[in-house]
Amino acid sequence: MSDNPIVFIDSGVGGLPYLEMARNYLPEENYTYVADTGNFPYGEKDATALQIIILELITDIVNRISPKLIVVACNTASVVALPLLRDRFGIPFVGVVPAIKPAAEFAAVNRNGGIGLLATRKTIEDPYTDTLIEDYASSVRVDKYAGINLVDFVEHNFITSTDEEKMEVISESAEYFSRLEIDSLVLGCTHFIYLEEYFRRHLGSSVAVIDSRKGVSRQIKKIIKTEGLVSDNKKRDIFYVTCGKGEQLNYQRFAEKFSLEWGGVL
């Protein structure tokens, strides 16, 4: 069991930077990434439909891959489905939620201004996000923005786009937060991490750009060590998609970018 892989799931490539960070913390582990491309994107789906999709995906992964831990590397999916997954399956799950807590801690120590939250429409609207803000950032102004077009851009165009095109695609949301004079920007969708550098350029060094990669990696490491699941037999890290139609070259390029073996369709 200890040599079984840690599996990361998302509707597409958004969770790959989380896998990359986890590999820095636990390089001896085996990793499998599953991009649920047949159901991309998650962020615009009805909550009940998304729960069914994710339950079916995880059931298939558990039966075919036997992971020792699963990371739901998607804010929307984590908010909607994590309690169900933990009730249904007898393995640990780690989720990804908007990094409101560290942003509020940063604001308390370093600044007096507000927090910007850039996320999908579903994450912005979900009551869980409001609870996070109430619990950790009730004394700080939090301004929300749904970056609807950014997920699709990263998924389909990031690899081949120019720096100018990347700056252009973030300009609307970056301008929105610039006008509000925020002190920190929370990237509340895993896909948005690919555009971190471009938000930093636009917003300037006075604005902290925050995500939850380090916190998620620390939690994975804690569980692996606490549960006695540390691997002693490094084998391979592999990338799968769930749909074989179109864009295979695009996903193979992402696999290469993150040093993952291309596995094709799961």
**Hey, which residues are catalytic here?**
74, 189
Helical ranges in the chain per DSSP H: 16-25, 47-65, 75-88, 100-110, 121-125, 127-136, 148-157, 163-180, 196-203, 213-226, 248-257
CA quadruple 178, 181, 44, 105: dihedral, nearest 10 = 140
For tokens 């938000």, the residue is 199
Q: Which two tokens stand for residue 170?
A: 């973030």
Residues present in the chain in total: 266
For tokens 């599996």, the residue is 7
For tokens 């913390």, the residue is 25
Among 139, 144, 106, 105, which Cα is nearest to 124's? 144
For tokens 């993952």, the residue is 260
Q: Cα(189)–Cα(200) distance, rounded to whole angstroms?
A: 16
Q: In what order do the strands lie in the sheet with 115-119?
A: 142-146, 115-119, 184-187, 208-210
